[in-house]
């Protein structure tokens, strides 16, 4: 089973600043990584897939990069609605399609 | 508009069974692979099971293999998760989700709102 490790567990950033979230796979997953945003009490929402492709309706301040074992989600000019928990997921090797443990993005 | 609506969550005792349903609308259900993902209280997301668009192929996470069965009724646009021999650590919100196509090995684009399963004596 591939282990996805996210860092940091909690990230404190001021509004209008940039946030950089990391995700590392225990073995290569090519570019088969997605990023999800989850707000309290809500279902996850797909942000990025195939490591760098924005899902429909996702604003351009969200971007993804990486391949192999190292992946990054960058959010520029943070808005109030961006403070949430973010998960990465690999869908290269399965079952299962493992998720990372999440990064909580909080207001500084 | 794609909608996924889960139901069937409840409080059950350890060792008992429960069946979850996920009613789909707004798309041709028989052409989409489907997945169950769960989230224990205060914890992260955990992939549980997936099924191909036809229902011919099903996959499970190790901790539920042999206890849970995923199935679908394409004539009723409904996905199911039969959960037997429930354990306390199966307590979670269960989400149904779909990649939005037949490719089962893909990101999950559509999600339901979830249904809570609590396993406790």
CA A60 to chain centre: 14
Instruction: Measure the CA–CA gap between B70 and B77, rounded to whole angstroms.
Output: 14
CB B100, CB B32: distance < 8 Å = yes
Q: Is B58 helix (H, G, I), strand (E, B) or coil?
A: strand
Give the per-residue pLDDT at A95: 81
pLDDT for A64 equals 98
Nearest-by-CA chain A residue for B103 = A91
Give the B-side interface with A, CB within 8 Å: 35, 37, 44-48, 50, 59-62, 95, 105-109, 111-114
pLDDT in tens, A10-23: 999 999 999 999 99
What pLDDT, on a 0 to 100 scale, did the predictor assign at position A87? 98
Between residues A102 and B106, the one the model is more confident about: A102
pLDDT at A6 over 90: yes
Please tell me the predicted confidence (pLDDT) of residue B7.
98
Would you place residue A96 in the very low, low, confident or very high pLDDT band (cuts 50, 70, 90)? confident
Position A63 pLDDT exceeds 90:
yes
- For residue B58, count CB atoms less than 10 angstroms from its CB and return exposed for 0-12, middle for 13-18, buried for 19 or more: middle
Q: Which residues contact A20 (CB under 8 A, 6 or more apart)?
A: A72, A73, A74
Short-list A98, A58, A45, A90, CA closest to A71: A90
- 8 A C-beta contact, residue B49 and residue B62: no
Positive/negative CA dihedral, B50, B51, B53, B57: positive
Average pLDDT, chain B: 96
CB B4 within 8 A of CB B23: yes
Q: Is the pLDDT of residue A62 over 90?
A: yes
**A95 contacts on B by Cβ (under 8 Å):** 47, 50, 59-61
The β-bridge relationship of strands B11-12 and B115-119 is: parallel
Please determine, for residue A60, whether its predicted confidence score (pLDDT) is greater than 90: yes
Q: How far is B73 from chain A (nearest CA, A)?
A: 23
Band of pLDDT at residue B105, cut at 50, 70 and 90: confident
Count of C-beta atoms within a 10 Å radius of residue B54? 12
Distance from CA of B95 to the nearest CA of A (A): 8
pLDDT tens by residue, B63-101 = 999 999 999 999 999 999 999 999 999 999 999 999 999
Residue A47's nearest CA partner among A57, A72, A65, A105 is: A57
Asked if residues B100 and B117 have their Cβ atoms less than 8 Å apart, the reply is no
Confidence of residue A94 (pLDDT cuts 50, 70, 90): confident
Using a CB-CB cut-off of 8 Å, the residues of chain B touching A43 are 95, 111-114
Do B47 and A46 lie within an 8 Å CB cutoff?
no
Q: Is the pLDDT of residue A46 over 90?
A: yes
* DSSP type of residue A16: T
């Amino acid at each position: 089973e591939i282990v996805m490790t996210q860092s940091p567990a909690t990230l404190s950033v001021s509004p209008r600043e940039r946030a950089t979230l990391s995700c590392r796979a225990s073995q290569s997953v090519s570019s088969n990584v997605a990023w999800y945003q989850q707000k309290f009490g809500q279902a996850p929402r797909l942000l990025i897939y195939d490591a760098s492709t924005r899902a429909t309706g996702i604003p351009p301040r969200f971007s993804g990069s990486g391949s192999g074992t190292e992946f990054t989600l960058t959010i520029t000019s943070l808005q109030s609605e961006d403070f949430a928990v973010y998960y990465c997921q690999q869908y290269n090797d399965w079952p299962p399609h493992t998720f990372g443990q999440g990064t909580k993005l909080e207001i500084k | 508009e794609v909608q996924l609506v889960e139901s069937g969550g409840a409080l059950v005792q350890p060792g008992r069974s429960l069946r979850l349903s996920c009613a789909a609308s707004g798309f041709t259900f028989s052409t989409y692979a489907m997945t169950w993902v769960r989230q224990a209280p205060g914890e992260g997301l955990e992939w549980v099971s997936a099924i191909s668009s036809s229902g011919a192929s099903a996959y499970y996470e190790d901790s539920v293999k042999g206890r849970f069965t995923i199935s679908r009724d394409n004539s009723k646009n409904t996905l199911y998760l039969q959960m037997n021999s429930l354990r306390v650590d199966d307590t979670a919100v269960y989400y149904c989700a779909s990649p939005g196509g037949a490719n089962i090995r893909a990101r999950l684009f559509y999600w339901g709102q979830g249904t809570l399963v609590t396993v406790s004596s």
